[in-house]
Amino acid sequence: MTTPRPAAEGAVQQPALTVDALGKKCPIPIIMLAEQINHVPLNGVVAVLADDPAAFTDVPAWCRLKSHHHVGSYELPQGGWAIHVRRNY
């Protein structure tokens, strides 16, 4: 017997907002995220575009600290990442 899987499992939710922090050094990407996250609805996703290697670890750490959900980090073709964060409150 197979276990049913939710239709959305594995699917990447389209971001409600994109924060372009490319070329900015940490902590600027986190500051920009903190200023903008309340502009999306609850459970909405913010994509933070960043190419500073510190952002790759600092944004997920910020999510744990602030009780938001780090959905995933996706490599960008031009370098850097789209770091997706789901607003929890």
Domain span including residue 57: 17-86
Would you say residue 32 lies in a domain? yes
The order of strands in the sheet holding 17-20 is: 17-20, 45-50, 81-86, 69-75
Question: Which CATH number is 27's domain given?
Answer: 3.30.110.40
Domain total in the chain? 1
pTM of full prediction above 0.85: yes
Of the candidates 26, 30, 32, 46, the residue annotated as catalytic is 26
Would you say residue 12 lies in a domain? no
Would you say residue 8 lies in a domain? no
Catalytic (active site) residue 26: yes
Would you say residue 60 lies in a domain? yes
User: Residue 13: pLDDT band by 50, 70, 90 thresholds?
Assistant: confident
The more confident residue out of 7 and 88 is: 88
Position 11 pLDDT exceeds 70: no
Average pLDDT over residues 69-80: 98
Position 65 pLDDT exceeds 90: yes
Would you say residue 10 lies in a domain? no
Helices within the chain (DSSP H only): 28-36, 53-66
Would you say residue 50 lies in a domain? yes
